[in-house]
Amino acid sequence: MRFFFTFAYQMQTTVLGFYIYQLTHSKVAIAFIGLSEAIPAVGIALYGGYIADKYEKRKMLLFIFGGVFLSSLVMFTFTLNSMKAYDNGWILYILYAMIFCNGIARAFYGPATFTVYAHSIPKEVYPNGSSWSSSAWQMASILGPLTGGFLYGFSGKIIPGLSGITANFSVILIFLFIALVLVYRLRKYPAVFIPKESIWISLKEGLHFVFNNKMMFYAMSLDLFSVFFGGVVALLPVYALDILKVGSEGLGVMRMASSLGAALTMLAMVRFSPMNRPWRNLLIAVAGFGVSIIGFGLSNIFYVSLLFLFLQGAFDSVSVIIRGTIMQLLTPDQMRGRVSAVNSMFIGSSNEIGDFESGMAAKILGTTPAVLFGGCMTLLVVTVTYFKTKNLIPSSLEDIHSPEVTPPVN
């Protein structure tokens, strides 16, 4: 289910960014793609976590996937005659509205799947299971953008008259339908949390748990600011069209390179766990992420750029595994939805908000200076976090449940 949904979602994200930039040649238009999704994803994330704790998860996922399928169907319909719609000024508004709807779905999707995952495997194999689950996600993230980019570039040559955006949305709808069928095949995951107080008190309890858990809070904060400043995904269409001049096919390869680095690293981490000294390894990984961003910004050679994107994905995957394992181990069952919602506010939407920041920074500073600025800010965030946490965070998993790290839950 996760593979097919991620494949379709990453494919859609890749081609929409390229399509909108191709129509407008505006970096601000790219920035508003991230903002359109981030506003609802952040705005109702806590409520999504509350609902995920309170209701049966399989039914939630059916509604979520059904909503994403319908929004993609609307985009498919309106992009069939895209140039005429754009001349009338409607196509961008429609696309942004549907991206906004996807943001609403994401606010519920993260907490629901987080809970399903936690109840699917024993706690003693969480680190290994997290690697396999993340590898499935990364494999879809490799194949989705790659397929989208090449299909966008070559569909008209394969079937004369077929536009790249139409061909992509045809595949996206098929894969979303498969994911919807697989959700239907899941067993039911009943609620483990029956609220006895108001929704506001329940939400406050989730926030209180995260903000009083030093290791979880600093891990989320580190990822939030590094992705906010260091993300370059939103600017890849600009690099593909204007700087490296490799077209939609090159965009697909660039999106694939980062995910390929992440997937191979995650497979290696099934055998070589980064959890022996998790906090040290997390800081090193985020620092490597920042250095890779700077290298990508300085490069104007396509294959060198691919190398730095590969390294970016590799370093990012290490932080994903460490942070995901920390969250699974520290979160009580009755709070998984709400804690995942807080995580979504910190991390899940930091990519989209970071896309907005990247687009606006590129408009103000220029594309390459904006990327270099983001990489330098990431290194600054790592440095500040190191000095803030060097006497607070345990060095090994053996100390992860100490009272200083994990607050009690009433």
Task: From 120, 100, 115, select the one nearest 193 (Cα to Cα).
Answer: 115
Mean pLDDT of 28-46: 79
Residue 107, domain member (yes or no): yes
Q: In the predicted model, is pLDDT for residue 169 greater than 80? A: yes
Residue 410 lies in a domain: no
**What does the alpha-carbon distance between residue 354 and residue 374 come to, in Å, rounded to a whole number?**
10
Domain interval for residue 386: 2-399
Is 378 a domain residue? yes
What's the pLDDT at 331? 74
Phi, psi of 297 (to 5 degrees): -65, -30
The number of residues making up the chain comes to 410
pLDDT higher at 76 or 330: 76
CA distances from 64 to 121, 248, 385 (A): 23, 29, 36
Identify the band that residue 221 occupies on the pLDDT scale cut at 50, 70 and 90: confident
Give the total number of structural domains in the chain. 1
Query: Which pLDDT band holds residue 403 (cuts at 50, 70, 90)?
Result: very low
Q: In terms of pLDDT, which residue wins out, 395 or 184?
A: 184
pLDDT, position 410: 44
Residue 303: per-residue pLDDT: 92
Q: Can you give the pLDDT at residue 21?
A: 85
* Segment 121-139, tens digit of pLDDT: 777 777 677 767 777 877 8
Instruction: Read off the pLDDT band of 268 (50, 70, 90).
Output: confident
The token pair at 36 is 């359109």
Specify if 90 maps to a domain.
yes
**Average pLDDT estimate for 25-36:** 82
pLDDT of residue 322: 82
* pLDDT tens-digit readout, 289-303: 999 999 999 988 999
Q: Check pLDDT > 80 for residue 376.
A: yes
- Domain membership flag for residue 370: yes
Identify the band that residue 408 occupies on the pLDDT scale cut at 50, 70 and 90: very low
Q: How far apart are the first and last CA of the chain?
A: 35
CATH number, domain with residue 117: 1.20.1250.20
pLDDT given at position 409: 45
404 inside domain: no
**Mean predicted confidence (pLDDT) in 221-234:** 76
- On whether residue 294 sits in a domain, the answer given is yes
Confidence of residue 173 (pLDDT cuts 50, 70, 90): very high
Radius of gyration of the chain (CA): 21
Mean pLDDT value across the chain: 79
Q: Would you say residue 405 lies in a domain?
A: no
> Looking at the predicted structure, is the pLDDT value of residue 88 above 80?
no
Examine the pLDDT at 201 and tell me if it is beyond 80.
no
Most confident of 42-46, 120-124, 175-179: 175-179
200: CB partners within 8 A, 6+ apart:
none
Fill in the DSSP letter of residue 243.
I
Q: What percent of the chain has pLDDT over 70?
A: 81
pTM over 0.75: no
Statement: residue 160 has pLDDT above 80: no
CA dihedral 176, 262, 104, 218 (to 10 degrees): 160
Contact 182, 197 (CB under 8 A): no
